[in-house]
Every structure is written in structure tokens, then in C-alpha cells.
Amino acid sequence: MGSIFLAANSTSKGGSSAFTFIILAVLVGLFYVLIMRPQRNRQRKAMQTQSQVMPGQRIRTTAGMYGTVISGDDRDVVIEIAPGVQVTMLRRAIMEVVSDDSMPSHEDIHPDEADDPAPEAETATEDEADTHHDEPPRPTTGN
């Protein structure tokens, strides 16, 4: 009687394993179409953009810096990020080529706004500057 049960059980597993294989194949196909293929297309587009960058083009790097390409070779590019300030970066750090009107210019950034402290900021008095907030209070003597 145990052998009959095993035989019946093995025949029903054959249909179930085919269904499981089909479900697994569909999931792998969906994973490829929804995740792998778009990522590969983004990488291909980024590599094409990085290889076609020419001196004089304005770019944005993966670090968020804007600049103008001064020169470059197969691996590195020299970017001017401010007048007279040149930085050598890997070509892979170029995220995109930007148009002149979408890139902030040096005149858009006002240095006087960034350097002024907040008007409501208070300065510490001498007593506050001398105290150490990390240390516990010292016990006083009862003399």
C-alpha cells in the first residue's frame, strides 16, 4: 500500500514541476525586461555621451559639479569649474552634456549671501565659551 501511494504521488509532481518551471521562466523574463534591459540601455547611453564629449562643451558630473571641458584623452578630462580653476577627472564622471541656459553661471552665485551669518545667531559670552558641555559638573566643597 505504501508503494501505491508513492507512485500516485510521483505522477502528480510531474505536472506541478512543469508549472513551477513555467512560472520561474516567466519571472526571469519579467526581471530581465523590467530591470536589466533598461539599466543596460542607460549604461550604453552614458558611455556614448562620455566618449563624445569635446573641449568647449559644458557638462555636469556625477558629483553635481558643472564645468566646461578644456581638454581630455581616453581616460581623463580637464574641466574648468570656475574661472582659472581646472580639475582633472575621470571621463566616467561625466553625467551629461548641458545646454548653456540650463547651467548656472558664476554670476548666479552671490558670495556675499553665503558668507553672512544668520542675523539671529548669538555669540557666546566668555562664561559660555569656557564651559565644557561634555564634562559632568564638578562637586563643590562645603567650606
Give domain limits for the chain.
58-103
For residue 69, the number of C-alpha atoms closer than 13 Å in the C-beta half-sphere is 26
pTM surpassing 0.85?
Answer: no
Mean pLDDT of 125-137: 56
Cβ atoms of residues 81 and 66 within 8 Å: yes
In whole angstroms, give the CA distance from residue 117 to residue 62: 30
**How does residue 58 score in pLDDT terms, banded at 50, 70 and 90?**
very high
Q: What is the pLDDT of residue 113?
A: 54
How many CB atoms lie under 10 A from the CB of residue 60? 17
Please give the mean pLDDT across all residues of the chain.
77
Check whether 54 has a pLDDT greater than 70. yes
**How does residue 6 score in pLDDT terms, banded at 50, 70 and 90?**
very low
**How does residue 7 score in pLDDT terms, banded at 50, 70 and 90?**
very low
**How does residue 120 score in pLDDT terms, banded at 50, 70 and 90?**
low
For residue 96, the one-letter residue type is E
The residue ranking higher by pLDDT, 89 or 9, is: 89
